Chains A and B, each alone.
Chain A
Amino acid sequence: MIEASLDKVFITTLSLFLFGTFAAAVSQKPRTANLIAHTASFLGGMTGAITALGVLLGQQTIFLSAWYIIADISLSFRIDALSAFFLLIICMLAVAVSIYSIGYVTEYYHKKNIGLLGGGLNLFLLSMVLVVTVDNGFAFLIAWELMSLVSFFLVMYEHERPGVRRAGYVYVVMTHIGTVFITLSFLALFLFTGSFSFTDFQAMSAQFPNWLKNLIFIMALIGFGTKAGIVPLHVWLPRAHPAAPSHISALMSAVMIKTAAYGLLRVSFDFLGGGPVWWGAIVLAAGALSAFIGILFGLAENDIKRFLAYSSAENMGIIFMGIGACLVFNASQQSLLAALALTAALYHILNHAMFKGTLFMGAGAVLFATHTRNINELGGLIKRMPYTAVLFLIGGLALSALPPFNGFISEWATFQSLLHLSFDIPNPWWKISGGLAAAALGITGAFAAGGIIKHFGTAFLAMPRSEHARGASEVPASMRAGMAILALFSLVLGVWPGFVLAITKNINEKMFHTHLSGDAIWYVPFAGQKTETLFPGIVLLTLLGILMLGALLLRFWAGKGKVHIDETWNCGTSLESSMQYTGTAYSHPVLRIMQRLTGTHKKVKVYQQYAYYPRKIGYHLYNDHSIEDAAYKPVVAFTVKVSQVIRMIQNGNLQSYLAYMVITLIMALLWIRQV
């Protein structure tokens, strides 16, 4: 009975998103469009979350069949535990972002068409829900393409700015390269099973020859890796995310790139049943590279949203490291450890959605209030926007993997999985690789924390550096509420990991026939596979208790302190905002150390004819991203060259066009000629 009603709840979700799309797109007044679109997406998100929780906690599968797209290919939905987990993330973000957007889109009133933006948001959510719930390869590809195109149009929302158009172009090219590979891998599955249905894929792929499995996996990895922004396929991420409106970038970064993880898990575990060890090694290496390079480039950025976008590449790298470790454990028959690694990856997927959603919305709030994303023009926002500052800081602490926030737990679980690679796999190469991967994750965390300090410190602390920052004021309540919801989840998931263990239990049961007990996430590799119990909620309470007690004791011992408020001593001159440490300066030392990778170089210019009495000295710092250039320039040059050669067939000569036609005709006739 519950199952039947869950079906209906899920149908309601789809209908609400669909209603929101069309109702918003046709409404003329911006206020009406805003209200309709975001109410629909809010309710859709709520009902979707209920469906997902019902499936995850109720240990059941929803199956729905809508209609036949063409003969034998039906649009059907199957929500198993894995689908439901991603559905839950999408819907949680949908709820928070809808509330946030009510305030955020007022920015565009009477400048842009709100109906299209709100309708696009609903369609985008709908397409993502479809991607994770459809039960058919063909429908999956359609949903995937829909998701890519809708997000492309949303990125291009402010298309009158040339930078946005360029970003959209890079995005649409990269995403289609990815789609080509995904399509190829699904077509390979189709060719050898004769069906597009996921159940047939699962049933028949066990008999596939090994080369075919490898081929399907590699193509899926490239395709989904492009969407996930894995280095070196990440180039669209730092361009598209800043160009999109902030609530859209929050959704893209928090949810859309996660659908790639869904696709990879679906193909590699569900269809192909895990693979040889080298699959895991590739995924792990790609993840480690992505995590390290992503955050290193992010550190160089002074644009908040670009930093967050690079950090998304980093976090997808961490997730891929978890998935890679899981593949390795699965290949070496360590099912409990595989479950641990998968839990770490899934946990980080959920966590990253929460804190990156908060951070992108926080960046959007800063943009809303100051109209600039460059932190070197900001400063002192904590006094003008206290709520935003606190919420941004919570997101930032979670991103830097600091307790008691959620990023800590999942990164710790990933660490443990990586260390288990060293300790529990007998091969000596893994002893080295596991340690190296853990070290990469460690330096990644350090850089992430550095990036957050840079961005929070420069944008929110000290004195305003420009009129933009001076005139800022706190954002509307709905925007703060949207951020607060996700920030609250960051805290809750950080102190209550049992909830995530409960909802990922079914996924692990299905894949590895084992599951983690409530405290298994606290395994420490050095202690073997014995249980070490620790409940972070209690630790937090204890720490808080000690702090309170300490404060009380101090007060009791020292009595009431004297507060003396005065100006900062500045050698007699008045304080200027230009005296402050800039964001560029903060990250400079790291970039100098890593200049081989980042291509950092400086240029000093003296603005005066007498070099010894300069009036002004200009100091310019450039980051060339040399490895991006090294990877992409030859490919682009080659493509252009090949295109020019191919273009020769289109020479404008009537006779040659006719010749192509007649040659084709003769070939076709020769081909059909029966011998």
Chain B
Amino acid sequence: MHLHKYERIWLMFGGASLVVFLAVIGITAFFMGDQPPSGAFCAPVFANADTVDPEKVTETPPFNEPGIKKVGENQYVVTMVAYSFGFQPSNIEIPAGAEVYFQVTSKDVVHGFEIPGTNVNMMITPGYVNTIRYTFDEPGNYLILCNEYCGVGHQFMSTTVEVK
């Protein structure tokens, strides 16, 4: 098959771009630990299963005691329950520079968990525990909000993280 010189050029350009894109994603995923939120993501910190009976959330550890727990040098675990229409615990305080692991589940419907301006953004599905890690380097007030329409009070479903 005869290939025009220009065709060879753009095929090579396309192929090389694909290789670069996949290499960058591969390096960040396997060597830098960038992974999408999931129950298994924070495995070094949590030993929990990534599922929970949605009807028994309030009786199942660790969700029977939602709150902040210090687990290491400047390392915290925030155990959170999302419900219609709020987050428990609300208005969290965290020292600046802390590495925070959020483990969140829902006791009713699907909720969202987003901190605008950061990469923290995950779906909270009843029956599943979703986890994400974030380091709060900058002091200030961070908003946590639900970004999945969950009912008539959805627009009120938010809380804050105070980093100081």
Chains A and B form a bound pair: no
| B residues lining the A interface (CB < 8 Å) | none
| A residues lining the B interface (CB < 8 Å) | none
